A and B are shown apart, each in its own frame.
Chain A
Amino acid sequence: MSILSHQQSAVVSLARKVSTSDSYWRGVGRRLLRDKTTMVCGAVLIVMALMMIFAPLLTSYAPTEGSIARRLKPVGTPSYMLGTDELGRDMLTRLLFGGRYSWFVGITPVILAFIVGGMLGIIAGFAGGKVNMLIMRVTDVFYAFPSVLLAVAVSGALGAGILNAILSLTIVFIPPIIRVSESVTTAVRNLDYAEAARATGASASSIVRVHVLPNVLGPIFVYATSLVGVSMIVASGLSFLGLGIKPPDPEWGLMLNTLRTAIYSQPLIATLPGMCIFMTSVCFNFVSDGLRTAMDVRA
């Protein structure tokens, strides 16, 4: 799972620094605004999102309509700005609509895993004892699979389809999020103020609500954002293998696969969907890094 674990320790060490005070979050905001890379990447992501949302306004074609007669037109062809694909469909239209699916399949599993994994991890970290043991041992089992293999195997068994792809990716991302949440919760739980609250006889639920949750959710959230980049790559990778969305609907990974036949005639067009995946993933990774740095008071 090491593709997912490289940020874990950095995030866990955040637990001691994140604070609930307004001045802390103002500081985070100030540092984020000063970080040019993060700002630029964030802006790129927002522009991409807006373009995909308003895709029907930006193009007059439908993503699945095409004609063999005008297949594989080069980039820059009049009225086909980014050319056409192997079935003569407008590339720009397909990239815009394809992005909707790619982003949806890439981001949804992280959100689901954040909710489920975060909950289980916080429970494990706070409850300790047998509950912790049970949750963490089951997590260990899923850690025994290389992440890409697990995603491929589960969605391979389930068969193609968006929901199956989302489900398998969620299964992949839950265990690492559990681990991070558990470590962060344990760290926060042992901080002085939580100890003090326990000593004064505060109830378990109020300790969780007042002390643990606010400080734990920040680091877990940062870790979850660091997974979006990987998730985009693996999600489109599943489609590339024919395990995601079914043709003729567009999706970047699937487009990349079907365009493989065009690498001799229109190499640029064949690689366009990949560039979109790359750009999205890079931007998410930079934004996540920037967020973590901004939340790290020591820096």
Chain B
Amino acid sequence: MFYYVVRRIIYIIPISLAVSLVCFLLVHIAPGDPIDAMVAPDTPPVVIEQVRAQFGLDQPLPVQFGIWLAKVVQGDLGNSLIKGRPIAADLLSASANTFILAMTGGLLGVLIGCVFGGIAGVYRGTWIDRVLLGTAVAGVSVPHYWLGMVMVIIFSVNLNLLPAMGAGPGGSTEWAWDWAHIQFLILPSITLCVIPAGLVTRTVRGLVSDIMSQDFITTLRGKGLRRSGIINHVIQNAAPTVLAVIGLQLANLMGGSILVETVFAWPGTGMMLNNAIFQRDIPVLQATTLVLALFFVVLNLVVDLIQTAIDPRIIRR
């Protein structure tokens, strides 16, 4: 077990390196000279050559990767082409906003998914199961950016209940847990929760109905446990896997909220990405992708370790 944990932690080093490499190459798969992606279009040639030397772009690719990586490790994610200032600070506050949205939407989705999935699994094969499963399939099929628009039309345009855009009154991007801010969070997080709710419903339903069909459930019935006692066993059997799924859903939403953020003008990493794409600000695209992917790698690790720790069936050496 101890060796597994150590090995698992060490394993994220090569993975992180590879992830960094992919992000580094993003600049180079962009059409044209990478230098064009790093300086404003009207920069004089002399300056361009200076920048080229400064970023080591006259060096072979592996060397460039080394230089870039060394900077990243020191927290230097480069400068935005548009704003001309370091990306790291903007990215930090955007990440915080995305985190708030992803966690709220994710937890909401997970909650709905566990309840729906649990009920569907227990009542497998009945009409309740079919209705819930159908709802879940619809849920994973929703283009959430469209759902966001529908929500805005209903709750902002028609009913005038909730704000349609932004993350705070007067376009503020500083988050606070008061109603003035929370009302901005409601529509985006409901929109964001639909897909994870559907996915978690299906997973939990499959898990629960698998567990319910196992031999030991007959044993539990045979020793006289009531329904609540049996459900307690089902929950404890499902818990490790469900936790893993929840962790992955939350991690996935950190990178997957870009479309919802765009619809609601939520000032997070997704909107940053969207703006970067729109303005062809490749360094910002690169840095944002890198940070989100590394976050995803670390969360995967945490989920895996928690699962190993709480599931007695998993024996790892």
Contact = CB atoms under 8 A, between A and B. Distances in A.
B293 interface: yes
Q: What is the predominant secondary structure among interface residues of chain B facing chain A?
A: helix
Given A149-B292, A156-B273, A271-B153, A240 B145 contact: yes
A144 B146 contact: no
Q: What is the predominant secondary structure among interface residues of chain A facing chain B?
A: helix
B140 interface: yes
Contacts of A3: 140, 195, 199, 252, 256
A144 B293 contact: yes
Given A141-B19, A146-B292, A241-B258, A153 B143 contact: no
Interface residues of A, number: 52
Contacts of A264: 157
Interface stretch (A107-115, A199-207, A209-217, A281-289): A281-289
Interface in B37-72: none
Contacts, number: 159
Interface string B205-218: 01000000000000
A148 B146 contact: no
B114 to A, nearest CB: 14
Interface string A1-12: 111011000100
A2 B199 contact: yes
A286 B137 contact: yes
Interface residues of B, number: 59
A286 B285 CA distance: 35
A260 interface: yes
A256 B153 contact: no
Contacts of A243: 277
**Which of A6, A10, A157, A256 has the most C-beta atoms of chain B within 10 angstroms of its own C-beta?**
A157
11 contacts: A2-B248, A2-B249, A156-B273, A230-B140, A237-B259, A240-B262, A241-B262, A242-B277, A271-B146, A271-B149, A289-B137
Given A157-B27, A236-B143, A285-B140, 5 more contacts: A2-B245, A146-B296, A147-B252, A149-B296, A271-B149
